[in-house]
Copies of this chain bind each other. A is one copy, B any other.
Amino acid sequence: MEMILVYTTFPDWESAEKVVKALLERKLIACANLREHRAFYWWQGKIEEGKEVGAILKTEVEKWRELRDAIREMHPYEVPLIARIEVDKVNDEYAEWLEKVLS
């Protein structure tokens, strides 16, 4: 079992919760941590600013393709971020829990 974190951001709580719950129901993730932030970014030639909800998703590497495709399909953004971060090491009991939940 190789654990990964996936970082994505939503325009609001409603869309964030909807997508995250669907990912949980499909067992593409075992857990999600959501919190608000302010985003500053380039969009169509201008620097924009807005509130967002960022999500850290916890899953195993085998789920990556299906997870990425599922987020892409459900995501309200035209160009969402779906970034995969390697978890170098994780405690055994969490790895076992993750494996059990996702199987």
Contact = CB atoms under 8 A, between A and B. Distances in A.
Interface of A: 3-5, 7, 9, 17, 20-21, 24-25, 27, 30-42, 47, 52, 54, 56, 58, 64, 68, 72, 79-91, 93-94, 97, 101
This chain: how many copies in the complex? 3
Nearest to A32: B40
Contacts of A36: 35
Given A24-B40, A34-B37, A37-B33, A91 B72 contact: yes
A31 B40 contact: yes
Contacts of A32: 39-41
A81 B68 contact: no
Contact of A86 (B31, B37, B54, B86): B86
